[in-house]
Chain A
Amino acid sequence: MQEILDQLLAYLRGFWRFRWYAMAFAWALAIGAWVYVAQVPDQYQATARFHVDTESMLTPLLRGLAISPDSQERVRFMTRTLLSRPNLEKVARMTDLDLQAKTDDEMDALVGRLKRNIRLSGTQKTNLYEISFVHSDRQKAKAVVQSLLTLFVEKSLGQSREDSANAQDFLTQKIREYETRLDQAESRLMEFKREHSGEMPDQQGDYYQRLQKARTQLEEARFQLETARSRANELASQIQGEQPVYGMMNPAGGGNRSSRTRTPDLDQRIDRLQKQLDQLLVKYTDNHPEVVSLKESLKDLRKERDQARKRLAEAQESSGSGPVPLNQNPVYQELKAALGQVRAEVAAARSRVKHYRQQVATLREKVDTIPKIEAKLAQLNRDYEITKQTYEKLLARQQSAELSEAADRSSNRMKFEVIDPPRVPPEPVAPNRPVLLGAGFGVSLLGGAALGIFLALIWPTFDTRRQLFDATGIPVIGTVTRVSTSRLRVKRATEMIGFGVTGAALLGAFAVIFAAETELMGLGFARLSDWFNGIRSLL
């Protein structure tokens, strides 16, 4: 904290060294500020309000359509219409402003300035617009606004072709817009149809049927696979000897397994017939012809089997080589062959199942997306239809507008009405002189202080022996504080008073000018700015 204070003191001392330079600079800045504030010309603003039925120009064209321009568009439309270049040129002529412009370039500049300084604003809901114009000459400002209003009234009374041409342009532009949109919608629709051909509604029935068929086929294939599989298993187990063939039991008990299945084929047939017989006996009696024939067949088969067994047993005994090796056993070979066939069937069935399963899956997928595609198609169609309708309506309106233009010319519809006539307040709207003066005062003070401190910083001196020693490294043998004799005191006092008086004079001058400019206290003498304005008007 102490260092901060010391630093501040140092700055103050530095400033004090150059106080007269600072004062001179402050005065210079002050004078500059006064001259500037005095010579800035006053600006006056003229305003007027009017009511215009914007829609009266646009509505008949756009009635019933879903388009309505927003307020920004409306104001822009108004500005374009009312502040068109021919209009502004007319205004310049009417107000004699064009007397200052002698060349085309100057005229351009003048029109540009008018355009910039004329402000048109409107609210969203109502059709109330306000127009304002700022100029240093009160009368001119008012004249410009008045001429504009006159122009507008003239225009509205006689619906000139320019205005409706503007509305026509608006319509044409919209038509072109919609044309593009229609093209886009159409191409989108075509694209979509092309992409999803085959899934369109008219081709849809196929898919459902095909799905059903595929489902059925899948079921069939599954069933086939199952049966083939179980057959293969049976055959395999027969070959292995795990399942004893019916009726091949060796009376000696145990014995070779193979002896039991020596006549598997016959056994099977006998089994089957036996089963059939059993079934029939459930329904019919022994006297039924079918039962009888079956019994006969059964008896025959049994006899055949016994004979076959006997033969086999003899053959076995004569050869004495034990049971016939498996691979020479004709039954075994038969079984093996059959198994092979069945296995092939299984494989075929499996692949068929796979195939049908895939088919089902694909079809189901397709079927799921069908509603989505339907919906998208419907939407595209709708878009297209709507755009087309609007476009056609716009075309129709354009036609009718051209027709109605002639008809409308006779009607005296007042679309333009002045609400507030142009008025120019006597007080200027700019510049804000008191504020500028205050700012000038601040600038002058700050500038002076800044200069003082700046000079002190670039030409530093020593205030303490410490500083002196630190800067040079040479010892300071002593310090003598300021001796003040009465003579010195008087001198200092005089100088301080002088400085104070100059400073007070600066403040006083500012105060006087401030009071004069703001006409505080009714000081009576003319304002500086009035003098300047007077001089300027003379020039």
Chain B
Amino acid sequence: MITDRRRIRVGVLSRAHVHADGYLALLSAAPDVELYVSDPAGGAGTQDRGRHGLPPNAHYLDSYPEVFDLGMDGVVITSETRGHRALVEAAAAAGAAILCEKPLAPDATEALAISAAVRQHRVPFMIAYPVRFMSVCQELLARQAAGQLGELVAIRGTNNGKLPRERRWFVDPVESGGGALFDHVVHVADLIDALTGAAPRTVAAMTNRILHADLTGDAETGGLVLITYDSGLVAAIDCSWSQPALAPTWGGLTLDVTGTRGDVSVDAFRPSVRGLDAGSGRPIRLGYGGSGDERLIATFLETVRGRRSAEPSLEVALRTLSIVLAAAESAGTGRTVAVRPLTAP
């Protein structure tokens, strides 16, 4: 058991994910944290890869083994999705607590391997679903826990954003698992999971590639997913990359929950100062209210220190990924499919 007075060592592995730098900033500011980073695939010439643009107190190492050799208490895995497995296996073998970016894995095989490694070495494992940590979502969960919504009947969720052009791997199904389905289903699926605890049963998904048709490869850019749960709840998720590139913000997340005692609507990223730049004619939108990242990292550090169990857990990650995989199968086959739980045989 790690005492809370000791400085803990946290390593950020890869900066491939767009969230890596945000986590670096938060970790850099956290008290009693020794911060290490490695980004061997970072390449030359970009501001936000490799050893460029790091917080001053971050120690850069050229390779992952060098990071592990120093003895990490926790690691944050922000590689391409295809890279999660190798890093999880290494971290688990090294006994480090893990915070892993989403989605857990690009396919079932990788997911099961990750699950096996975590279970074998019994390390704390958290999946990076920051949205549930936002105050507005915590409030929704509290209302549900207090019974204010009654029985949950139907949920409508949207998580729409811009095409993630800053990182090509997001749109390369080999590296990411898929397109919009793999990027934007899980945050909503996680909120539903946290609200209901029900198991997903069937998925019917439709996808297309009308938006950003110039993209090479076959990543879907538009997606609508219908989910039924064993509690009877029905949900619909729009995960499309439908936010125009010139929009003033990255996109947003909404959740409309219908229960027998009423409805709650959440528009998590709505609060903004709004206006218009008269010169360019472009709208101005300055969002506020936090993204959940602060609480996500704080929770991870508490987990690393052994003060709490990892949540959202590996089980949550597997349950929500199973929906994504079912959606991909449904979209590909044109059939409604049963969700296959991602549990070891």
A binds B: no
Contact surface of A with B, Cβ cutoff 8 Å:
none
Contact surface of B with A, Cβ cutoff 8 Å:
none
